[in-house]
Amino acid sequence: MIFCKLDYKYQPFFCEENIWWLGKSLQVKGLSLEKQYALFFSNDKQQIPLFFQDQGEGLVVWDYHVVLYYKDEISMIFDFNTLLPFPCNAQHYCAYTFPKKLPKEHQIYTRQIPMKDYHQKFYSDRSHMLDKNQKPLQPFPNWPAITGKKPHYTLDEYVDFKQQKISKVLPLDKFFTNLQITI
């Protein structure tokens, strides 16, 4: 199957919504929803350094980032912001995207959400993209905001890695071990 980023809904700076919609589209294309996961990357400082991202040269520091992980015989990562292939072999993506050594304050953590749960529970009020005067910091997507079934979880809850009610949060190295990824 061939995938092209341009075939899917995408709005810069709204990775959480882009991945929600991508999961729906991949399901329509026949990729099992049970094999899809939303991966949230962040940390307490909300400063995660990633390589090969389209918003800068070399290293980009995001407050959080969301990708789609498709777990199969050959696992893939779908990341709209990567300069690597779309999708990218998970092993290759992890080896090239994440810095090898980081100071403790920039250690990356991840939350893995089954896509079925993400589709049901994610609620986007887009408040994280408003300034103090309630003006958008970046253009909003041209689709309606996503409203999940109650109880739902907002983006702030998904990236609050201190709480574990949504799912377990793992340091990146332990997450790689669970996925049997070596970098």
CATH of the domain at 170: 3.10.620.10
pLDDT at 1: 79
pLDDT at 169: 93
Give the mean pLDDT of 18-32. 96
In a domain, 2, yes or no: no
Q: How confident is the model at residue 33 (pLDDT cuts 50, 70, 90)?
A: very high
pLDDT at 60: 94
In a domain, 38, yes or no: yes
- In angstroms, the CA 90 to CA 179 distance is 9
- In angstroms, the CA 47 to CA 44 distance is 8
For tokens 């990236």, name the residue: 159
pLDDT at residue 10 tops 70: yes
In a domain, 1, yes or no: no
pLDDT at 40: 97
pLDDT at residue 182 tops 70: no
Least confident of 26-30, 41-45, 174-178: 174-178
pLDDT at residue 26 tops 70: yes
Give the mean pLDDT of 158-162. 91
pLDDT at 131: 95
Residues of the domain holding 88: 7-179
Q: List Cβ neighbours of 108 (8 Å cut-off, separation of 6 or more).
A: 41, 42, 43, 48, 49, 98, 102, 171, 172
How many structural domains is the chain composed of? 1
Closest to 171 measured CA to CA, from 42, 38, 7, 47: 42
At 113, list the tokens: 């959400």
pLDDT at 183: 60
In a domain, 127, yes or no: yes
Residues belonging to the active site: 15, 65, 79
